[in-house]
Amino acid sequence: MLYYCIMMKEILCMMPSELEELLLAYGEKAYKAKQIFAWLHRGAAFDEMTDISKKTRQLLAENTTLVYPEIAEKQVSRLDGTVKYLFSMHDGQLIESVVMRYKHGNSICISSQAGCRMGCKFCASTLGGRARDLSAGEILSQIIVAQKDIGERIDNVVMMGIGEPLDNYDNVIRFLDLVGAKGGLNIGYRHISLSTCGLVDKIYRLAEESYPITLSISLHATNDTERSEIMPINKKWCIDELLTACRAYFDKTGRRISFEYTLIHGKNDSPQQAKRLAALLLKYFSGVPFHVNLIPVNTVAESGFSAGDEQSIKRFIDILEKSGVNATKRRKLGSDIDASCGQLRHKKNTD
Ligand code: SAH
C-alpha cells in the first residue's frame, strides 16, 4: 500500500525495501539503500552521507524530501536530567517530546499528532483541537533528533505525547515498522508502549497486527457517568466495550495491559473509587497479569483540576494492592520544567 507520505517521497517514511525500489528505478545499486537508511536514522543530511556518491545524493535530494524537526526550544531539568523538546515541523506546527533518564536506560515520550481532537477535560494537548496528523517519518524523527542531540542511545519509546495514536492509525503502524527495522534505530517492540484513550475498533485492529508492544489504556474513571464527564470518547465506546477489547488484545497478544489512572482530587480519588477500580479490572482480568499506573494530575489552568496530597494517593494505592491489583505511582520527572506534554505547545500557540 502506498501511503500519502511516500507519494510525496518523504524519505524518512520509507522502509529499506522502498529505498531499494527508488534506487533501482533510477538505475542505482540497490545495496546503497541500507547505507542510506542507516544515515537517515542517525539524523544525517544528504550531504553528510559520505560513503554515498555525490550523484546519488543529488538524485535523492531531487526526488525526495528530507526535513528533520527543528529544536525550537529545549529545557533540561536540573533535578533529574529530563529533557523537554519543543519541535517545529516543516510547516511551523509545534509538537513536544520528552527524554527521561532512568537507571535502565533512556526513554522518550513522543507525539503522534499536532494537537488532539479527543477532548479529555484534564489534558492540555486537546485545548486547541487537532491541527493535523504527523507522518510516520515525523513520528520517527523525534527519536532521531533527540538521540543525536543527547548523544546517547534511546532504549524505550512511549507514545504518550501530544495526540491520540490510534486516531492516526496508518501512520503509527508505519512508524512501528520503521522503528523496528534492521539497520535503523532498531528499537525492540517490547520497549515500545502505545497509550490510547480507548478507540475500541482500532484496539481490535492493532491486536491483529501482532506487534509485541505494550498497550496502555487511559482509564481515569470507574463508571460510565464519571468517565464520560472527563473523557468524551466514553460516549462512543463505554467502559464495558473498552475493557472487553483490552481483554481480547491480551488474549491475542499475551502482552500485559497497563492502565493509566490520573488521580484528580475530589473527582476520582476516593477510597470507594479505589475499591470500584479494583473490582472493575478484576472482573475482566482475573487471573491474568495487568498493571495500574497512577498519575497525580498535572494542573492545567483551563481544567481547574488538581492532585490530592501524598497521603490520599498512598491510600488509593494501598486499597488497590490489598485487593490484589498491581499498582505504582508514576515517578514525577522534570518537575522544574514544563515536562508534561501539550502545555508548551498550548502556551506558544496562545501567546
Ligand atoms: N491520547 C493518548 C496518549 C496521550 S495522553 C491517551 O489518551 O492515552 C498520555 C497520558 O497522559 C494519558 O494517560 C493521559 O490521560 C495523561 N494525561 C493527560 N493530561 C494529563 C494531566 N494534565 N495530568 C496527568 N496526566 C495527564
Residues in the ligand 1 pocket, defined by CB under 6 Å? 118, 120, 122-123, 160, 164, 195-197, 218, 260, 262, 295, 297-298, 300, 340
Phi, psi angles (nearest 5°) of residue 196 = -135, 150
pLDDT for 186 equals: 87
Please tell me the CATH code under which domain 70-350 is placed.
Answer: 3.20.20.70
* List of residues 6+ apart from 208 with CB closer than 8 A: 252
Q: Which CATH class is domain 2-63?
A: mainly alpha
Q: 10, 64 in Cβ contact below 8 A?
A: yes
Among 120, 219, 341, which is best to mutate for testing ligand 1, by the most ligand atoms less than 8 A from CB?
A: 120
Cα(38) to ligand 1 centroid in Å equals 33
pLDDT for 336 equals: 76
Phi, psi angles (nearest 5°) of residue 246 = -65, -40
Among 193, 206, 218, which is best to mutate for testing ligand 1, by the most ligand atoms less than 8 A from CB?
A: 218
DSSP 171-197: HHHHHHHHHHSTTTT---GGGEEEEES
Catalytic residue among 123, 197, 246, 341: 341
Distance of CA 43 to the CA centre of its chain: 20
Beta carbons within 10 angstroms of residue 229's beta carbon: 13
232 in helix, strand or coil? coil
Q: What is the pTM of this model?
A: 0.95
Please give the single-letter amino acid code of residue 125.
S
pLDDT for 341 equals: 66
pLDDT for 337 equals: 75
- What are the boundaries of each domain within the chain? 2-63, 70-350
pLDDT along the chain (351 residues), means of 10: 56 97 95 97 97 96 96 94 96 96 94 97 93 98 98 97 98 97 94 98 96 97 98 98 98 96 95 98 96 91 86 95 94 71 77 73
pLDDT for 3 equals: 46
